[in-house]
Amino acid sequence: MKQLRPFPQATITKKGARAIEAGHPWVFDAEVLSLTPAPLDGCEAQNGDVVDVLDEKGAYLGTGLISFNSKIRVRLITRNANDKFDEAFWERKVRWAWEYRKAVMGGNATLQQQNSPSSTQETGKHTWRDLDCCRIIFSEADAFCGLIVDRYGDILVAECLTVGMDKLAPVILPLLVKVMREDGEKICAVYLRNDAKIREKEGLGLTKGWLGHPSLTIPESTRIRTSENGILYEIDLENSQKTGLFLDQKYNRQVVSRLAAGKRVLDCFTHVGTFALNAARGGAAYVHGIDISQAAIDAARNHATLNGFDRFVEFTCANAFDFLQELDEAGGRFNGKPFDFIILDPPAFTKNRKTIYEAVRGYRQINYRAMHMLPRGGYLATCSCSHFFDDKLMRETLAQAAHDANIQLKQIEARQQAPDHPIVWGIPETSYLKFFVFQII
């Protein structure tokens, strides 16, 4: 006899069932054939509620959270029919996410940081851990569809992007703090950055503020100081982009740091100066960062001063496309000298399939300019953070730019995002960052 469960049931198409069986956690609205009340009590699903997902024959496929405002109607949180969605369930899930980060981002590191203030300024050393500044929960990749949590020292910053996770955040986030504290981690507060426009597609409002909970404090300021790769940053949690820093490039910035010694470095789309500062820490002779946002440039300059790099690191507020074109037309010389290392870290030029070819033109243009002006033997670090602009298209675009610039590319590394942003096979949206390092020959 079929066992009845106390949840509404969404019966989906064969196409939807195949996607779930292949590992993808989404059910689109067009794939839902019917939505019936909970069989035990006849209650209909409310926005954000737990629902069981069944195939056309009634076989159980998984359980997820429903959204009536989104084209993604159900996002799965489990495929185990025996799960009970109590605090123990959510604590188990946050523990899995935390244990994974301890495994892939754990360990202490002590580095010699010249010209930089630090927690042990007398010895010139700064002790840091990758766990102190990393992503703890990454949405679908951790089966928390629509929840992102980043850590900056003793503060967590969370984004709830779906109605289901928005309803559950008051339960999940304190449990995450509890689990981390049990491991000796000093987490004192959680800041909610629930101001992403995508929330409106879920019927949610846009808000920001500290999470109120008896176990948490409410700091006086949203300005905090944190360290990544041994570099100090001051972040305004309330007004920064997303949660504060783009942590997915952490280890790619280390690659740049290793290659930068003695070089003149141009960092395009520098944001708050992260790649530029890593190049400086690696011993670059001179670094120049550009970004179209004056607020980002002001923050980058502050970070250069904070780390003692302001003597040889400069920033300019400029449109990167215009700057690269003008520099290329001037023979690639800036203040009389060429750059021999250029970094291109643009924002996503496309967030859907309809604008892919516009993105191709953008990526091709900036990479052509960089390749054309770099001297033979120079270095290029270039990337794309758009899921829709996939690896194959990225490689084709770079190859065409190299052909147009009449150069060859010697690949040094091909990388992706840091492992605290895990890639789950079967969920292609979790694989989005392409990062290449080349020598120009």
The two structure tokens encoding residue 396? 């084709």
Contact 401, 367 (CB under 8 A): yes
Q: Strands (DSSP E) along 114-167, which ranges?
A: 125-129, 133-138, 147-152, 155-160
Hey, what amino acid is at 12?
Answer: I
Q: At what angle do helices 356-373 and 320-329 cross, to 10 degrees?
A: 40
pLDDT digits (tens, 9 = 90+) for 379-405: 999 999 988 889 999 999 999 999 999
Q: What's CA 287's distance to the chain center, in Å?
A: 25
**At CB < 8 A and 24+ separation, what contacts does 328-334 make?**
328/369, 328/372, 328/373, 331/373, 332/372, 332/373, 332/374, 332/375, 334/264, 334/266, 334/288
Please give the model's pTM, rounded to 2 decimal places: 0.91
- Its sign, for the CA torsion 338, 344, 346, 352, is positive
- Percentage with pLDDT > 70 across the chain: 94
Rounded mean pLDDT, 249-266:
97
Q: Which of 221, 192, 189, 191 is nearest to 206 (CA)?
A: 192
Q: How many helices (H) and strands (E) does the chain have?
A: 9, 24
Residue with tokens 């959680």: 190
Residue 416 parent element (H or E): none
Residues in contact with 77: Cβ distance below 8 Å, sequence separation at least 6, in sequence order: 25, 50, 63, 64, 65, 85, 93, 143, 144, 145
Q: Which residues of 194-223 are buried (b: 16+ CB within 10 A; e: fewer)?
A: beeeebebbebeeeeebbeeeebeeeeebe
pLDDT score, position 109? 43
Q: Is 74 exposed, middle or buried (0-12, 13-18, 19+ CB in 10 A)?
A: buried
Rounded mean pLDDT, 248-257:
97
Q: How confident is the model at residue 114 (pLDDT cuts 50, 70, 90)?
A: very low
Residue 264 has pLDDT above 50, yes or no: yes
Q: Which of 176, 186, 184, 192 is nearest to 144 (CA)?
A: 176
Alpha-carbon distance of 121 to 336, in angstroms, equals: 36
Tell me the three state secondary structure of residue 284: coil
pLDDT score, position 243? 84
pLDDT digits (tens, 9 = 90+) for 20-64: 999 999 999 999 999 999 887 888 999 999 999 999 999 999 999
The two structure tokens encoding residue 420? 């605290």
Rounded mean pLDDT, 245-263:
97
pLDDT digits (tens, 9 = 90+) for 126-177: 467 899 999 999 999 999 999 999 999 999 999 999 999 999 999 999 999 9
Q: Which domains does the chain have, with CATH numbers?
A: 9-78 (2.30.130.10), 87-226 (3.30.750.80), 246-440 (3.40.50.150)
Rounded mean pLDDT, 226-253:
93
Angle at 102 between CA 99 and CA 107, to 5 degrees: 160
pLDDT score, position 115? 35
Rounded mean pLDDT, 294-317:
97
The two structure tokens encoding residue 244? 């504060």
Residues with a catalytic annotation lie at: 385
Residue 119 has pLDDT above 60, yes or no: no
Q: How confident is the model at residue 116 (pLDDT cuts 50, 70, 90)?
A: very low
Rounded mean pLDDT, 72-96:
97
Contact 50, 24 (CB under 8 A): no
pLDDT score, position 127? 64
Contact 337, 239 (CB under 8 A): no
